[in-house]
Structure 1
Amino acid sequence: MSHCSNPDELTPDGLPRRNPRESSSSRSKIRLIDRWSVIDMLGISESTLERRMVDDELFPRPRRIGTRTIRWIEADVEDYILNLETVDPFAA
């Protein structure tokens, strides 16, 4: 159920209306990054990036921003990195 008391504050779908002026100041900026930035952040090769995109269901999906252009949301890639398995470097 919505927390809005005024029905004029709801969209036709019953969701709370967003104030356009609020959105840019209250949310952090979304930053889109290209494949080379993803490769650099992960320290992997281009072929490993391609393999992870196909084989790793947890790997963030890129967004299409043009007919031949895709970008990743930087925060999604950062979350992926933070959720990678930790290892004990001294384990046998």
Structure 2
Amino acid sequence: MDVTDLDPDDLRMSMLLAMDFLVSHRISHDHTYDSARITAARDLLEQRVLLALTETEILEMPDGWSWRHAAHEISIRVALTIVEEEKAGQVAP
């Protein structure tokens, strides 16, 4: 899938629940709202979601498939992975 034509605002809206989860985790972990860390987490989340969408073959998707719904589902799984990586020390918190 060519992700260059995606509306960045639509993409961010699709990832909103995942971002809420990452922010909640960050606040509960640090007991602060560190905007630099939140921004870094958002950037990492966005990069990974875009990579997954890039690897998606639209022609192989079922009828009714939506990149927005896919981005939403992917972002939730990526957010969970980011938190697990932080816990394991694989990603800077």
TM-score range, shorter chain: under 0.3
What is the TM-score of this pair, normalised by structure 2? 0.26
Identify, as 1 or 2, the structure richer in strand. 1
Higher relative contact order (CA 8 A, sep 6+): 2
Identify, as 1 or 2, the structure richer in helix. 2
Find the structure with the greater CA-based Rg: 1
